[in-house]
Amino acid sequence: MAKINKNYSKLKPSYLFREIANRTKAFLEKNPEALVLRLGIGDTTEPLAPSIIKGLKTEVEKLANKKTYTGYGDEHGDIRLRSALKDWYKKRGISLDVSEIFISDGAKPDTSNISSIFAPDTVIAVQNPVYPVYVDSNIISGRDNFVFMPCIANKNFIPDLPEKKADLIFLCSPNNPTGVVMNKKQLKKFVDYAIKNKSIIVFDNAYAAFIQDDDLPRSIYEINGAEKCAIEIGSFSKSAGFTGVRLGWTTIPEEIEIEDGGMGALNKLWSRRKATMFNGPSNIAQEGGIAALSPEGLRESAKIIAYYMENAKIIKEGLEKIGLEVFGGVHAPYIWVKTPKGISSWEFFDKVLQETQVVGTPGEGFGKYGEGYFRLSAFGNRENIQRAVKSIQKNLKI
């Protein structure tokens, strides 16, 4: 007799962004004439850079031709893309071998699966509020021994070290949802902690491309010692507009030592997992990724990022103007708004939707320390962003 995995019942009944979509849909059914302005999901809206389009087309052409057609690729990813990433790290003074870089179909699946190489009783430290996937994916696999690291206003949303000894520490910087980025000194504290306690850091730098200050770390490997204790998960989604195209990567340095596996063990286990359960991301997406890392691709994508960051500025300043308290939005495409008069984040979500037709994300969806906050995303066409800000300024009753 088959039985279900009971761990799923420990999850909230609906994934955060599904719930938002459902509430938005319900609103639209009641108000069919409303023009809803979606600043909820961190979803890119600008077309791909021309050089990336060229890369994608190149691969499609290859697949059309008997001489250039290829089938299964390397489960660890196209060696040319891994080399391009190696070079990309090198420019930042970081030395990684191609064997330490694994290409994925996006940061979300890798973030979800990385714990699979760790023991079932792993104690996992997670920022709160944070991207819900770290917690939910671990609950599903039965790794639900969590220590939460509150990111709160009077500590500038920077987490303290875990209160209880943690084996695996998920860090997201620039953080989703607060939009706050950790500096080198703050990250160094975590690296030192990890080395001292033989813990492993999983560093999600999906928003690194939005950092405006060269002194702020875009990769955890900019911190001394991180190569001994940190896995990094990167993404083309936000930096190159690949949210729908699907492409990311994970780096696991050989130098990482783990007590019961030795040096290189984590790299080997992840390699085995990829070979067994994955067949590499789409070859078309990978050719797009190679183009995205070319000097031209990086230059073109930088312009798109600047466009989103101008959106962030418009939102931030527009909301501050009407007296809302606003964080983030400087080195990240997320604006973290304190709900007025201490109303709950879901109440504020409904209020903003009803009064201004703007869809945001209730902070509580990212964890209990997100309660009392509301996330707005700077992804969007300029016109929509301006319209949303004006609608909030004009129609929100605070």
Q: Considering only residues 44-63, where is the footprint of a copy of itself by CB under 8 A?
A: 44-48, 50, 53, 56-57, 60, 63
Q: Which of 36, 147, 161, 265 binds a copy of itself (CB under 8 A)?
A: 265
Which CB atom, from 109 or from 370, has the smaller least distance to a copy of itself? 109
Secondary element (H or E) of residue 31: none
Tell me the three state secondary structure of residue 335. strand
Q: Which of 146, 210, 249, 278 binds a copy of itself (CB under 8 A)?
A: 278
Which CB atom, from 6 or from 30, has the smaller least distance to a copy of itself? 6
Which CB atom, from 8 or from 302, has the smaller least distance to a copy of itself? 8
Using CA atoms, how far residue 200 sits from 118, 137, 165, 171, in Å, is 10, 18, 12, 11
Q: Is residue 280 involved in binding a copy of itself (CB under 8 A)?
A: yes
Amino acid at 22: N
**Stretch touching a copy of itself by CB under 8 A, among 86-94, 254-262, 334-342, 357-365:** 254-262
Tokens of 197: 């306690």
Q: Between residue 326 and residue 365, which ones bind a copy of itself under the rule CB under 8 A?
A: none
Residue with tokens 């909301």: 319
Query: Is the CB of residue 322 less than 8 Å from the CB of residue 313?
Result: no
Amino acid at 259: E
Tell me the three state secondary structure of residue 262. strand
Q: Which of 175, 379, 388, 389 binds a copy of itself (CB under 8 A)?
A: 379
Q: Between residue 142 and residue 171, which ones bind a copy of itself under the rule CB under 8 A?
A: 142, 167-168
Nearest distance in Å: CB 183, a copy of itself: 25
Q: What phi, psi does 377 have (nearest 5°)?
A: -100, 140
Whether a cis peptide bond, with omega within 30° of 0, leads into 129 is yes
Which CB atom, from 67 or from 397, has the smaller least distance to a copy of itself? 67
Tokens of 233: 């998960």
Tokens of 230: 């940190």
Query: Is the CB of residue 134 less than 8 Å from the CB of residue 170?
Result: yes
Nearest distance in Å: CB 135, a copy of itself: 10
Q: Is residue 381 involved in binding a copy of itself (CB under 8 A)?
A: yes
CA dihedral 160→164→165→170, nearest 10 degrees, is -50
Which CB atom, from 241 or from 372, has the smaller least distance to a copy of itself? 241
The DSSP output letter for 181 is -
Nearest distance in Å: CB 84, a copy of itself: 18
Query: Is the CB of residue 220 less than 8 Å from the CB of residue 205?
Result: yes
Q: Is residue 383 involved in binding a copy of itself (CB under 8 A)?
A: no
Neighbours of 8 (CB within 10 A): 11
**Stretch touching a copy of itself by CB under 8 A, among 71-79, 93-101, 317-325, 390-398:** 71-79
Task: Collect all residues with Cβ–Cβ distance below 8 Å to 256 and sequence separation of at least 6.
Answer: 200, 227, 228, 229, 230, 231, 263, 264, 266, 267
Which CB atom, from 64 or from 154, has the smaller least distance to a copy of itself? 64
Tokens of 284: 């078309």
Which CB atom, from 142 or from 340, has the smaller least distance to a copy of itself? 142
Q: Is residue 297 involved in binding a copy of itself (CB under 8 A)?
A: no
What span, in angstroms and rounded, lies between the C-alpha atoms of 205 and 121?
A: 26
Q: Is residue 28 involved in binding a copy of itself (CB under 8 A)?
A: no
Size of the site for a copy of itself (CB under 8 A): 85
Nearest distance in Å: CB 332, a copy of itself: 17
Angle 108-58-84 from CA coordinates, rounded to 5°: 55
Query: Is the CB of residue 172 less than 8 Å from the CB of residue 130?
Result: yes
Q: Is residue 311 involved in binding a copy of itself (CB under 8 A)?
A: no
Which CB atom, from 3 or from 397, has the smaller least distance to a copy of itself? 3
**Stretch touching a copy of itself by CB under 8 A, among 37-45, 214-222, 317-325, 349-357:** 37-45
Tell me the three state secondary structure of residue 243. coil
**Stretch touching a copy of itself by CB under 8 A, among 6-14, 88-96, 340-348, 355-363:** 6-14
Which CB atom, from 72 or from 342, has the smaller least distance to a copy of itself? 72
Q: Between residue 90 and residue 109, which ones bind a copy of itself under the rule CB under 8 A?
A: 105-106, 108-109
Nearest distance in Å: CB 227, a copy of itself: 16
